[in-house]
Amino acid sequence: MGAMTDRGTAPAADLAARLIQLNSEYARAIDDARFEAWPEMFFEDCLYMLTTADNHAAGMPAGLMYADSRGMLFDRISALREANIYERQRYRHIVGLPAVLSAADGRVRTEASFLVVRIMRDGRMDVFATGRYLDLVEADADGSLRFRERVVVCDSNRFDTLVAIPL
């Protein structure tokens, strides 16, 4: 990943570009319904949690979605494809630029804002969720960045339907 600097030098710029690419690939996988690619962006030992801003601020670990391994993420996708019944829909993500909060020992904590528009089968579009991604990212053995943790903190605690697709 390279050393972080505070003056925008090459290692920091390279890290920023790699974080942007990771977030872009993440959003594209979900938006293009390539859900099986989504768990591959995480380490085997990982955390994915979708929660509300109120729960997060109160330090409550309750979430709308929770997985603490890549296997659980694959199970989520399997259920999405095979078992869950929900109205056909798709998402379009707009993800803000990631802010590096800290970097040490090859691990980088970042935060990025997001907006997700939900497109329904009949063409209706609604703002479905806004919030921020709180991530712990590191490089795997081949140098690719993966999520060790992704906590999806939604601004609102109201959802008008089942959150079937990962945010």
Domain residues of the chain, as ranges? Answer: 10-154
Query: Would you state the pLDDT for residue 127?
Result: 93
CA atoms within a 13 Å half-sphere pointing along the CA-CB vector of 16:
16
Distance CA 21, CA 19 (A): 5
Q: How many CB atoms lie within 10 A of CB 160?
A: 7
Distance CA 72, CA 44 (A): 10
Q: Which amino acid is at 32?
A: D
CATH for 10-154? 3.10.450.50
Helix (H, G, I), strand (E, B) or coil at 155: coil
pTM of the model: 0.88
pLDDT band of residue 78 (cuts 50, 70, 90) is: confident
Distance CA 79, CA 154 (A): 23
16-93-71-135 Cα dihedral, nearest 10 degrees:
40
List, for residues 87-138, the tens digit of each pLDDT value. 678 899 999 999 999 999 999 999 999 999 999 889 999 999 999 999 999 9
